[in-house]
Structure 1
């Protein structure tokens, strides 16, 4: 099959979107599709299938620029690529969907999109919502990654998006990886993984840390990097949390820390279908998550596979942490319930849906 798919993802970072990019692009190539990736992050080449063709700048100058700059550069590349390359192709937008749609349509090219994060973060802005609602309809097809997300899309934009859950590739998580050595003293190990941004709201976790019973000997590890790093460090210092909270930055193998944890916590204000929750569920961890739009409630089966709290409710979060020793039987049942239904994220099942989604657009 000589058809080409141009995956538009200007900024390849270190999150869930990128994990899906690696998994899906690899699967599509194995099914004889030709994959071009348009990005400013040529430095991520080694993480992708060797048969991926890179479009766009390969200059290291752009690797660490902010998203807006990368979007602009890649949109210019997309315009000229579509204008002068006449081979049969479709654009599959993973980022900057609206702008990718406009340029693709200007160049008379089929475009499909993948939305990965709930519009709750910006849909209260009337003009943004209206503009998005008009342009998204120009796409040839739209997909989202959770059923709650699909309902939200229908309610906000009256669009019947296709839902494909994130494919979970167990081969990424080899049990041969070296695990973190446990300390000699008994402690309650708590972990949170995610970019240090306002969306992830790690401040809620830090506020809860002040209320955790010291007898539990809590140790909170926050993995990730981002623009909120300094403000989080200042909060930790001001509230004398240095002994129990550690910010350890981005880690190439965060699952080494995840395996050692007793509790996994997600405090986001909005999400799509967060991969970190899938990973925590796969490793059979007790999960506490905000009931934010849209994915956590779905992954945690309405609270049957983990505890859900209101966004920003640090008091409830600390209360659940303090109750951990007394609720072990109930927590074990929640973990078992999550494992029972984990097959819905099956790698092959959901990758086949991606393949059908792409093929139907040619």
Structure 2
């Protein structure tokens, strides 16, 4: 009987998590078995080795995460009640752990974002450790992330994000024919991504008489707050929220510098993608990932989370002398093998097959 591997991802939103999902499916060796993707999003075309288990209509795609999770639980029980399978969870890990134990499946958890918001609270630490101790394998995507789990005595496997290089170059309309400094930010418009810090830093940059434009690619609940801040600082001509873009990384190469302003991350793909294109990077030194990707500042610039003054100074220095950061960005290409999709997919395969043998 062919092995069944279930990828659990209730909400497919087009971000870094989803990109890693698709790359993993693409590069996983065929011997791992038949792959099923459980999601509440609209049905996507199946292939010989991949089957989507999801609603036929797009109705549920617009619902919140809780509803999507309930739909996925129903689909999982309905389709796999009497099966032997390994679940690889990309979202809603607590739910997937519970349902896996009920069904007698092996459960592999992939953590995507720093756990600082859980581990700082005593009661949350206890709850987190209790539930996650029932997982069979925990995968993290950075060494710093591993240290966070070590704090609550949970063992984990380090597998870096998968990434490939597809050289496609597009330029934002906002950048075309503009000869000043072109700054790019990609991320959901949320508190986590903290574009407010970027906007405040750019206000200082404008007052230093630097000619720049900043394009922010993404969508999210903070859009109105960001628009309001841009207007209040009279930065409408300098900053533009350009909305969501499929394959947003294609726009990186036509920018002069990429800025990540997040409060916390996992291992941000946008920094790896910027390195692929040789574009200089300034990033917040948030947990986890940026420091590791940029090798403590050897491959790019880091600034303290939320410190827009230091961010502004780094952007100002770059505008006056681009050479230092450009040298760092060229050096970064030498370290991209860490994110090789073939190497890292084999690591996933090894863990999946090992757990399947235990069923």
TM-score, normalised with respect to structure 1: 0.93
Offset of residue 50 of structure 1: 5.9
Deviation of 1:178 (Å):
4.5
Find 1:167's aligned residue among 149, 162, 178. 162
1:1-362 alignment, distance < 5 Å: 2-28=2-28, 30-31=30-31, 33-43=33-43, 45=44, 51-82=49-80, 84=81, 86-155=82-151, 157-170=152-165, 173-175=166-168, 177-180=169-172, 183-213=176-206, 215-362=209-356
- Equivalents in 2 of 1:52, 1:245: separation in Å? 41
Task: Say if 1:150 and 1:68 are closer, same or farther in 2 by CA, change over 3 A.
Answer: same
Deviation at 1:346, TM superposition (A): 1.2
CA distance in 2, matches of 1:50, 1:260: 38
Deviations 1:278-298 (A, max 9, x none): 101111111111111110000
Please state how far the C-alpha of 1:229 moved relative to its aligned partner.
0.5
> Which consecutive unaligned segments of at least 5 residues does structure 1 have?
none
Q: 1:233 to 1:94 in 2, by over 3 A?
A: same
- Shifted more, 214-223 versus 111-120: the winner is 214-223
Counterpart contact for 2:141–2:158, Cα < 8 Å: yes
Give the drift of 1:333. Answer: 2.3
Which secondary structure does the structure 2 equivalent of 1:63 belong to?
A: helix
Contact 1:3 1:33 (C-alpha < 8 Å) held by counterparts: yes
What is the CA deviation profile of residues 39-59 of structure 1, one whole-angstrom value per residue up to 9, with x for unaligned ones?
Answer: 01135x25x756421223222
1:147-183 alpha-carbon deviations (Å, 9 max, x no partner): 111111111x21120000011122xx233x5445764
Contact persistence 2:214–2:239 (CA under 8 A): yes
Q: CA deviation at 1:332?
A: 2.2
Which protein, 1 or 2, shows the higher relative CO under an 8 Å CA cutoff with sep ≥ 6? 2
Cα separation, 1, equivalents of 2:47 and 2:111 = 23
Taking the aligned partners of 1:50 and 1:62, their CA distance within structure 2 comes to 26
Q: CA deviation at 1:31?
A: 4.2
> 1:117 touches 1:272 (CA, 8 Å); kept in 2?
yes
In structure 2, the residue corresponding to 1:6 is in which secondary structure?
strand
Q: How far 1:126 moved relative to its partner?
A: 2.7
- The superposition leaves residues 212-271 of structure 1 with CA deviations (integer Å, 9 ceiling, x where unpaired) of 046431100000000001111111111111000000110113233211111101111111
TM-score (normalised: structure 2): 0.93
**SS of the counterpart of 2:346?**
helix
When structure 1 is superposed on structure 2, of 294-303 and 146-155 the one drifting more is: 146-155
Q: Distance in 2 between matches of 1:211 and 1:143?
A: 40
Q: Could you tell me how far apart the structure 1 residues matched to 2:24 and 2:47 are?
A: 10
CA distance in 1, matches of 2:275, 2:68: 34
Distance verdict in 2 for CA 1:237–1:178, change over 3 Å: closer
> How far does the alpha carbon of each residue in 1:174-204 deviate from its partner, in whole angstroms, 9 at most, with x for none?
33x5445764442100000000111101100
Aligned residues: 354
Contact 1:40 1:58 in 2 (8 A): no
Distance of 2:271 and 2:342 partners within structure 1? 19
Distance 1:81 1:288 in 2: 46
